Structure formats: structure tokens, C-alpha cells
Amino acid sequence: MPGPDGGQWNASTIRGAPTKLVGILNNPLYAGRLVWGRRQWRKNPDSEKRERRYRLRDRTEWVEVAVPELRVVDDALFDAAHAEIERRKRAPQAASPAGQTRARHLLSGLIRCSCCGANYTISGKDYYRCAGQKERGTCGNRVSVRKGPLETATLAVLQEHILADEHVRVFIEEFERELQQLTRQDTGQHDAAQKRLKQVTTEIENLYQNLLAGLASPALRAMIAEREAEKVRLKARGGAVHDRKPTAILLPHPVLVEQFRSKVASLRQSLDDALIRTEAAAVLSA
């Protein structure tokens, strides 16, 4: 049966959100109760038009009105449905997979059914399947695709595309640009430290001149001690910058190319890491 607007039903239309009282199973209107004031809309201060952004009010601010003429189910059935929902929350292993939170998969949101155009979503543990057929029953496509081989084949094509000469050239250019930027940062920090070191040395000489002129005071001695300590720190910092290894070493182009190819070749192995995989899925779906 089509939805009110003639479209297909989604699983979320039935489940909804309990905290917002939306979704068929959560909407008290089906039990003859109309709830007002659940949302507070934010208004544009320059106009009286409501914006589409809102916040959910505290439940103590909600107003419930009995509308028995709109009742669809009796209280016993409505309460029994909610009792079953609560039971499944306490036993997630018994809940429908559609209601469980899934981990992001590499190709989530990128595969579409050629029959109905719906997304192919993860089904069970290792398969992608048409959401139109699985969740709504509106598509006759029952073909499931094993996740592992599909992702491997996709990554193989992606690796071949990335290893094109143009992309290798871009990698080398970006690597060298980043290296130059890091080198400039190191040079700038060293130059700034040397400039300040000269200033501090001059200040110390002037302070000692005042001391020799008989202007000795606790404040003057404290200033000399402070500048001497800063001079030691600046010399140590300058020596550390001078002695430390460069941030990166500019490699010959053949070595860079080989490094790039090695990284791309290990792409599949890297994506076995759950954190990297989740980040990659988010980037691909953006």
C-alpha cells in the first residue's frame, strides 16, 4: 500500500522517535490523544516567519487533549505495542535488525538498486541488499551481494584510478609543497629566536651598565636575572633547532613514486582498521 503522498513507506515511518512521539508506533493520536506544544520553533528576529529549526520542549510543558473521535486503536493494543518495544530494547539481540544501530560500512549510501533506485544497505553481517525489498517490500530484487568481494573489487578499481600518472604527479607536488611549508616554519622560528637573542643580549649589557653606574637596586638585579635566564633558554632553543633532524627529507622522485604506490597498495589492509574504515565511509558518503 502506498504512503499518503503516494510514495514508499520507510521503516522509520513505523518506528519513528519515541522521545518526539513521532512514528506510527509512538504517536498517541492513534490512541485518541492529541499532544500540543512538543516543539518550540526558533524565529528569525527580523521577521515573524518560523524557521525549520526547533527544540523539543520539556515534557512538563506538553499539553495533552483527548480526541476519542480520532482513535484508531484501543489503549490495550497501544500499551501492548509499547510494552513490546520496551522488551526489545532490553533484549537487543531479539530486536529487528532495522531497529539496531549499525556500524558504518565502506560503501554505505553509494550502491543503488538497478530495479527501484533504493539504496543497497547492509543485511545481516556480510551482505548488501536492496532496502526497498528488505524494509518496504516494494521491490522484487532479491539479489544480495557479499560485502567482502564487492568492497575488494571496488577498491581494486579505486587503486587503479589513484595510480594514474596525473594523480602520482599531484601527490609529488603536494608532498613537496608541504615539506617546503614545514621548512619555512622551522626557519621562521629559528630566525625569530635569534632576533630575540640579540635583543636580550643588548638589554643585559645596558642593565649591567646601569649597575656599574651605581644604580643597583633589587628590581635591577631581578631584571638582570630574568634576562639571563631568557638568554639561556633562547640559546638552548636555537641549538635544538639547529641540531635536530629536518621535519622531512626530500626524496628523489622515483622513491616518492614507489612510496605512493606502496601506500595505495596497502589501502585495503588499512581499511581493516575500524576507525580508519569509519572515517573513510564518512568521506565517501559526503
Name the pLDDT band for 36 (thresholds 50, 70, 90): confident
Share of the chain above pLDDT 90, in %: 4
Query: Quick check: is 133 in a domain?
Result: no
Number of helices and strands in the chain (H, E): 9, 7
pTM above 0.75, yes or no: no
Residue 145 placed within a domain: no
Higher per-residue confidence, 108 vs 142: 142
Determine, yes or no, domain membership for 150: no
Residue that finishes a domain, picked among 80, 99, 118: 99
Q: What is the pLDDT of residue 247?
A: 47
* 17-22 long-range contacts, CB within 8 A, separation 24+: 18/85, 19/56, 20/56
Task: Indicate the residue type of 272.
Answer: D
| In a shared domain, residues 269 and 174 | yes
Give me the domain span that covers residue 17: 1-99
Domain count, the chain: 2
Confidence of residue 189 (pLDDT cuts 50, 70, 90): confident
Name which residue leads in pLDDT, 246 or 27.
27
Whether 281 and 176 map to the same domain: the answer is: yes
257 shares a domain with 176: yes
Tell me the Ramachandran region of residue 244: left when phi exceeds 0, alpha when psi lies from -120 to 50, beta otherwise: beta
pLDDT digits (tens, 9 = 90+) for 220-268: 888 888 888 888 888 887 665 555 555 445 555 677 777 777 777 776 6
Could you give the percent of the chain with pLDDT greater than 70? 74
Residue 49 in this model has a pLDDT that exceeds 70: no
Query: Mean pLDDT across the stretch 169-186?
Result: 80
Asked, for residue 112, whether it belongs to a domain, the answer is: no
Q: Does residue 54 have a pLDDT over 50?
A: yes
CB 152 within 8 A of CB 268: yes
pLDDT at 34 over 50: yes
pLDDT higher than 70, residue 158: yes
Q: Which residue, of 46, 77, 99, is where some domain finishes?
A: 99
* Same-domain check for residues 190 and 92: no
In a domain, 180, yes or no: yes
Cα separation, 69 vs 184, in Å, equals 76
CA trace torsion 78, 81, 85, 87 (10° rounding): 120
Q: Which of 28, 58, 22 is nearest to 40 (CA)?
A: 58
pLDDT at 98: 46
Predicted confidence band of residue 95 (pLDDT cuts 50, 70, 90): very low
What pLDDT does 16 receive? 77
Q: Which of 75-84, 212-221, 241-250 has the highest mean pLDDT?
A: 75-84
Look at residue 169 in the predicted model and tell me its pLDDT. 82
Q: Is the pLDDT of residue 2 over 70?
A: no
Residues 279 and 180 in one domain: yes
Q: Which of 99, 129, 146 is the last residue of a domain?
A: 99
Q: Are residues 183 and 260 in the same domain?
A: yes
Domain-embedded: residue 131: no
Looking at the structure, tell me whether residues 257 and 172 fall in a common domain. yes
Same domain, 175 and 280: yes
Q: Would residue 78 count as lying in a domain?
A: yes
What helix, strand, coil percent values describe the chain, rounded to 5?
60, 10, 30
* CA-based torsion, 113, 119, 123, 128: positive or negative: positive
